[in-house]
A and B are shown apart, each in its own frame.
Chain A
């Protein structure tokens, strides 16, 4: 199957102290790792593409490790995650779907078996396209305080024959979360939902 060719990487780390309400003891940290790769299927319809998911697994793992490193190095601090992809204009949305398995695999490996489905989104777009990567709790999708999203993008990416791959991790709830629902402290952690 095709090799993974990387053009560039961007790491973004946000540390949020408050949003004009009472500042919690520990700030919320959110990190995104973006990697721009060549799209091996750009410009043509290829019916058998699924093998590329395996080729992307080492990259998924590397990006997940980089995120944990950027959040301080301890995977235990990670409470939320999400993933996304932007496919350049010579590709198709289905190429973005190749990221579901390797992106999720990488984060679960590094986080020690997170149970919840990894929230995700994808689109086809030109350089500078922004993507709102959805974020949910790593063990229980219904934890309301952890519903969040992080906007990502790179001015010169993706070019037509590229795919921008993204993984996002966070250390906790929205900074002033107060709209009720299932709490992180109430998670049973059996079915990935509650």
Chain B
């Protein structure tokens, strides 16, 4: 089953200064969010494989949109994250079906790598729901400078029978990171953790 997409929104955020300090180069992150029809709204359906297929489709589409919005070469992306918000007539499990079984492979294909788990969040709610997409380094989950989150919101979504699906991609970590931990220069990139 193909996704019935009502709208796609992209967000690009660039931070140039923080507490009067220049961020050079500025930190930049993008999110691409699709608002789709939930084919299983209002009923219990045992087999969620149609939503898994939709997850695969959106994994590719939204990652490409986010990278294009950043205007970077896909392989230079540094961190990523994913999230979904289900409208009131759906189940949290619908978000899980989109996000977890098949969405990750095309994300990694577009970015060229991505050994680390893609951090995720999900919720159910009404229109204008705020979605906080967790972010982590794409090759080593323990890179502390890249633990972050990006807030997205679309005032008219999700409607009761809709699902919002979001993918965020960055070319950098937090502005002015200074709480130690593994740095991106120390990444071995073998196990997805360090």
State the interface size on chain B (CB cutoff 8 A): 20
Report the Cα distance A15→B14, complex, angstroms: 21
Known: A17-B5, A151-B155, A155-B151. A9 touches B16 (CB 8 A): yes
**Is B6 positioned at the interface, with any CB of A under 8 Å from its CB?**
yes
- Chain B proximity of A21: nearest CB distance (Å): 10
A1-24 residues at the B interface, CB under 8 angstroms: 5-20
Interface of B: prevailing SS: strand
Interface string of B30-71 (1 = CB under 8 A from A): 000000000000000000000000000000000000000100
Report the Cα distance A156→B11, complex, angstroms: 15
Report the Cα distance A15→B10, complex, angstroms: 9
Task: Please give, as numbers and ranges, the residues of chain A lying within 8 Å of B18 by CB-CB distance.
Answer: 7
- Chain B proximity of A68: nearest CB distance (Å): 15
Task: Please give, as numbers and ranges, the residues of chain B lying within 8 Å of A154 by CB-CB distance.
Answer: 13
CB closest chain-B residue, reference A66 = B12
Report the Cα distance A14→B9, complex, angstroms: 4
**Is B15 positioned at the interface, with any CB of A under 8 Å from its CB?**
yes
Cβ–Cβ contact A9 & B7, under 8 A: no
Report the Cα distance A11→B7, complex, angstroms: 16
**Is B8 positioned at the interface, with any CB of A under 8 Å from its CB?**
yes
User: What is the interface of chain A, defined by CB distance below 8 A to chain B?
Assistant: 5-20, 130, 151, 153-155
Between-chain CB contacts (< 8 Å), 8 pairs? A5-B17, A8-B13, A8-B17, A10-B12, A13-B69, A14-B9, A17-B5, A151-B155
